[in-house]
Structure 1
Amino acid sequence: MSAAPVIWAIAPSHTYLLRHEVLWPDKPLDYVKLDDDAEGYHYGAFQDDQLVAVISLFVNGSEARFRKFATSPAYQRQGIGSALLRYVVAEARRLEASCLWCDARQDSAGFYARFGMQPEGDVFYKGPIAYLRMARTL
């Protein structure tokens, strides 16, 4: 079993390659850049000094949303994404949000449910991929 990942705040640009590789490899790199990346908080999980997972947090008043959560395939199912999400839940609380939500790929809903997130509303699609809004109170 690997040591726990080290989690650091990172620049938005440091998230782009993993976002692209994991989430939208068939799209151009610019597709994974967000117009409001400069206003967000971006975190990376490092294993053996290598960036292996990223997540971006956006806080608007009492509401926090995380986006572009991606873990390198070679490091999935090792607890790294879970550690990163726990970190972001704590950060959202620290930033005084009372609600945390995301647009989750439907096939990942079970993962988010383990963190107390529940589906809200109907399934929707981004291209061919089914999504659910999932949220929890903090």
Structure 2
Amino acid sequence: MPAPFDIRSIRPEDTYALRHQVLWPDKPLDYVKIEDDDVGNHFGAFRHDELVAVISLFVENRTARFRKFATRPNCQGQGIGSALLRHVFSEARRLGATCIWCDARQDSAGFYARFGLRPEGETFYKGPIAYVRMAVAL
């Protein structure tokens, strides 16, 4: 049985190493930084005080967006990412959002669909990686 974990608020710079390692390892570290990181809400899942997953939430008016969601590969499939996403949905509601969306890697769309997110619009690419915008009402 996997070890327990907890979710905490973290600083934007605490997300960078994991974002880089999981999402864009072939790009420079600056590639994973978001211009608005300083106004976002950032969360990390910790197992034995080790950061194993990160996600960033941005709320503008009543619309929330999550970005740079990354879980260490050896920690995937253990419910950590699901718990982190549920936490972000709750936090978005608490901050007054009525809907939430993301630009999902197409190969992760099935994961997001389990949380009610549905594709909106056409597939697009960031480099060679296919993405689709997905959204759900909160």
Q: TM-score, normalised by structure 1?
A: 0.98
- Opposite residue 28 of structure 1, the aligned amino acid is P
User: 1:21 maps to which residue?
Assistant: 21
Q: Does residue 2 of the first structure (1) align with residue 2 of the second (2)?
A: yes
For the pair 1:47 / 2:47, whether they are aligned, the reply is yes
Could you say which residue in structure 1 is the equivalent of 2:105?
Answer: 105
Aligned counterparts, 1:70-81, within 5 A: 70-81=70-81
**In the aligned structure 2, how far is the partner of 1:126 from the partner of 1:90?**
29
The answer for the alignment partner of 1:133 in structure 2 is: 133
Q: String of CA shifts for 1:27-82, please: whole Å, max 9, x gaps.
A: 00000001100000000000111100000000000000000000001101111000
AA paired with 1:86? R
Distance in 1 of aligned mates of 2:7 and 2:30:
25
**What TM-score do the two structures reach when normalised by structure 2?**
0.98
Q: In structure 1, what is the Cα distance between the partners aligned to 2:55 and 2:5?
A: 14
Q: Do structure 1's residue 120 and structure 2's residue 95 form an aligned pair? A: no
Question: 1:5, 1:83 within 8 Å by CA — same for their partners in 2?
Answer: no
Deviation for aligned residue 1:4: 3.7
Q: CA deviation at 1:106?
A: 0.2
The Cα of 1:101 is off from its aligned counterpart by 0.1
Equivalent residues, number? 138
Structure 2 segments unaligned to the other structure (5+ residues) = none
Q: Distance in 2 between matches of 1:49 and 1:15?
A: 14
Give the equivalent residue in structure 2 for 1:69: 69
Q: Give the alignment's Cα RMSD to 1 decimal.
A: 0.6
State the shift of 1:3 in Å: 4.0
3-state SS of paired residue (1:131): strand
Stretches of structure 1 that go unaligned for 5 or more consecutive residues are none
Aligned to 1:90: 90
Provide the C-alpha distance between the structure 2 equivalents of 1:112 and 1:49, rounded to a whole number of angstroms: 27
CA contact (8 A) 1:4 1:80 kept: no
